[in-house]
Structure 1
Amino acid sequence: MLHKKLKAFPQDFLWGASTSAYQVEGANLEDGKGPSCQDVKEVPEGTSDLTVCADQYHRYKEDIALMAEMGFKAYRFSIAWTRILPQGIGEVNPKGIEYYNNVINECLKYGIEPIVTMFHFDMPAALDEKGSWSNRESVDWFLNFAKVMYENFGDRVKYWLTINEQNVLTLSGPVIGTLHLPEGCTNELKEIYQQNHHMLVAQAKAMALCHEMLPGAKIGPAPNISLVYPASCKPEDILAAQNYNAVRNWLYLDMAVYGVYN
């Protein structure tokens, strides 16, 4: 269909940008932050580590002022699990709470809507040692993390995203270095999909808790959706595309929306 006349974007459309904590903050072990899987992994020679990155931890005021100058209406950023809970569970780090309070307040000062991603590829290293997402307790770990965030930031954050690109974590975990398999694992694919299931359950519980604690907030998943087209009109190509869409896309959306596996 050719649209010769396009509707204007609504005034409240959220134009903005997105980052993840470990990719921009730097200060990866400062002010009480514990190590995540990103901090303990082996960095290839000639590649920067996470001590500086874009230095947003120290330059957030400057960065957000630039966003305002560019006309941003929203800033989606992730909260580093170990900056809030250095061991993943247990004691809360007040410096981490303070930092994200400052970021949120700075956004609001310029009329920029803060959109929080709860988990973006940075499982606490201490929880990796306990089995990571393979451990059924990971559901409770994530729910506790969500509760701490809702309690501290929910009065100002109205938009929440649960797990960033969970389908990428599942389909490409070994490639991007986020997959932690338990010792003695003999069936990697089965283990990956068990982890995927735990993430889906954790996400569902975090969504339910959000609606309970923050009834005015909106929450949803952040999967990496990309429609798969058949190579031709042959039935086998159409079936292949449908199968790949189920694995690549619909599984994650169906679970979030309907609570069932595709």
Structure 2
Amino acid sequence: MKFPNNFVWGAASAAYQIEGASFEDGKGLSIWDVHTNDTHPDPITGISNIKNNDNGNIACDHYHRYREDVALMKKIGIKAYRFSLSWTRIIPDGQGAVNQKGIDFYNNLIDELLAAGIEPYITLFHWDFPQKLQEIGGWSHPDMPRIFADYVQVAVEAFSDRVKYWMTLNEPQCHIIVGHVDGKCAPKLRVSPKEAFYLIHSILKAHGLGVQRIRQYAKQNVQVGIAPNPSAFYPYSDNPDDQLAAQEKAFTADSRNLWATTWWLDPLLLGHYPEDGIEAYGSDFPQEINNPEDLAIINQSLDFLGCNFYTGACVRADNKGMPVIVDPKIGYDRTAFKWEVTPRILQYMPIFLYNRYHLPILITENGLSLSDWVSLDGKVHDPNRIDYMQRYLRELKKAIDRGVPVLGYLTWSIMDNFEWNDGYGERFGLIHVDYGTQKRTIKDSGYWYNKIIESNGKSL
């Protein structure tokens, strides 16, 4: 089962989840700094923001331990490391003065990665929006796309001499829906559907302007993409009718569902909002955002489509060929996070996405949370993670065999880290982190992944 010779094997992380040093060396506050350090119960739910009142103030202390962490990455053998930049570490207020110590940190990290033979992949925004910008309206502020693009320019001018691979946004769906509509995560807003569309339009426009700045100011030929989490579906069987039904479901927006993939990717890659979604939302869809000038900015040429995939829904065709969701079996296979294990999404979603958008696919996140601990022998035994990755990677190889240009696989995550509202209760890493001592231990899955990388997938 050998993968293509140029296939990229790597791992991923995010700044707020691992860096720590939240109030050091001139870094400004992000909305996640504020959210996690607010321990008052939510007035609506009565629940604290973060389980156990955890926060990311120290996290994995990667800011101080990045050399150790890069050495562990090299030991595992990863060839690519996707990490995000902390906007407020670089520009503390989100706009204006640049913090040189923040630039220095990322310069040092990039140089350390390259010296270890690891290709850096930068994500420019992974949810840690500057608090100062939130206070002037956040993504609802009319200048926010331009302010984001100014930040992108600073980063590109500082790092693009050595960094070839760039992603503008991580999972904008989660950031906007969970943080601004459902009010569960930072910045904990609960806006109306119409207000949500203005936010969606703003962050998509920020992406477009960001891509333009990358192209304009990059110091070498670069590859530019984005890392959304498309809603994932797979067919009940390999019957052509079920496959067509699953593909149709993957790109349907005919109900009032902001998670529909076409709300997020059709404007970026096809230059328009989905007609069935506009019809479903009726007067709640603001027609003024559907203008050709803004859509031309949003619809920038990309080099690849990053995809974060964990779990999905099964679809079959009914007797009229219409897609129907199949309920999970009783006692379905699930992760510690209670997410259903659905490896076939890594075969079918790359196929569906490539058929529609005609871009090479990069798996920018895939992994699972398990109840890992250091055993009495000093090792971390996580056979279910190995089994999970093996199942998903075998399905991904089938997508490649069916003609989809899949560039690589970046597992989530390189190490256990701060899992947003769930704090430190979920462990996704190839490396175990003892948060009390900051001791790192490569798990069995990390050593297994090393063998997969060395054989280019042949040992799967």
TM (norm. structure 1) is 0.87
Instruction: Report the CA distance between 1:167 and its aligned residue.
Output: 1.5
| Paired position in structure 1 for 2:266 | 254
Amino acid at match of 2:62: Q
| Paired position in structure 2 for 1:194 | 198
CA distance in 2, matches of 1:53, 1:247: 29
User: Are residue 19 (structure 1) and residue 13 (structure 2) matched?
Assistant: yes
Question: What secondary structure does 2:111 align onto?
Answer: helix
Q: Which has the larger radius of gyration?
A: 2
| Paired position in structure 2 for 1:171 | 177
CA distance in 1, matches of 2:96, 2:76: 40
CA distance in 1, matches of 2:235, 2:177: 20
Amino acid at match of 2:138: S
Query: Quick check: 2:90–2:102 contact (8 Å CA) kept in 1?
Result: yes
Deviates more, 1:238-247 or 1:190-199: 238-247
| Paired position in structure 1 for 2:221 | 216
Question: What secondary structure does 1:9 align onto?
Answer: coil
CA distance in 1, matches of 2:131, 2:235: 41
User: Are residue 33 (structure 1) and residue 27 (structure 2) matched?
Assistant: yes
User: Are residue 94 (structure 1) and residue 100 (structure 2) matched?
Assistant: yes
1:115 to 112, 117, 121: 121
Query: Quick check: 1:37–1:178 contact (8 Å CA) kept in 2?
Result: yes
Which aligned pairs between 1:204-243 and structure 2 lie closer than 5 A? 204-214=208-218, 216-228=221-233, 242-243=251-252
Amino acid at match of 2:185: G
Instruction: Report the CA distance between 1:158 and its aligned residue.
Output: 0.5
Instruction: Report the CA distance between 1:172 and its aligned residue.
Output: 2.3
Equivalences, count: 250
Give CA deviations for 1:81-131 in whole Å, capped at 9, x if unaligned. 000000000110010000000010000001101000100111100000000
Amino acid at match of 2:26: G
CA distance in 2, matches of 1:169, 1:48: 20
| Paired position in structure 1 for 2:342 | none
Instruction: Report the CA distance between 1:179 and its aligned residue.
Output: 4.1
Give CA deviations for 1:168-219 in whole Å, capped at 9, x if unaligned. 22332235413464xxx8x522112211100101101111221222261111
Higher helix share: 1
Instruction: Report the CA distance between 1:230 and its aligned residue.
Output: 8.1
CA distance in 2, matches of 1:22, 1:167: 18
Amino acid at match of 2:198: Q
Instruction: Report the CA distance between 1:142 and its aligned residue.
Output: 0.3
Query: Quick check: 1:165–1:222 contact (8 Å CA) kept in 2?
Result: yes
1:143 to 139, 149, 172: 149
Distance 1:193 1:105, change over 3 A: same
CA RMSD of aligned residues (A): 2.5
Distance 1:137 1:231, change over 3 A: farther
Amino acid at match of 2:163: V
Instruction: Flag structure 1 segments of 5+ consecutive residues without an equivalent.
Output: 1-5
Instruction: Report the CA distance between 1:32 and its aligned residue.
Output: 0.3
CA distance in 1, matches of 2:90, 2:102: 5
TM (norm. structure 2) is 0.51
Question: What secondary structure does 1:95 align onto?
Answer: helix
Amino acid at match of 1:17: A
Give CA deviations for 1:1-34 in whole Å, capped at 9, x if unaligned. xxxxx4x223332211111101100000100001
CA distance in 1, matches of 2:250, 2:80: 34
Question: What secondary structure does 2:211 align onto?
Answer: helix
1:157 to 163, 173, 179: 163
Query: Quick check: 2:125–2:169 contact (8 Å CA) kept in 1?
Result: yes
Query: Quick check: 1:14–1:74 contact (8 Å CA) kept in 2?
Result: yes
Amino acid at match of 2:100: P
Amino acid at match of 2:70: I
Give CA deviations for 1:109-160 in whole Å, capped at 9, x if unaligned. 0110100010011110000000000111111110010000011001011101
Query: Quick check: 2:251–2:262 contact (8 Å CA) kept in 1?
Result: no
| Paired position in structure 2 for 1:3 | none
Deviates more, 1:214-223 or 1:143-152: 214-223
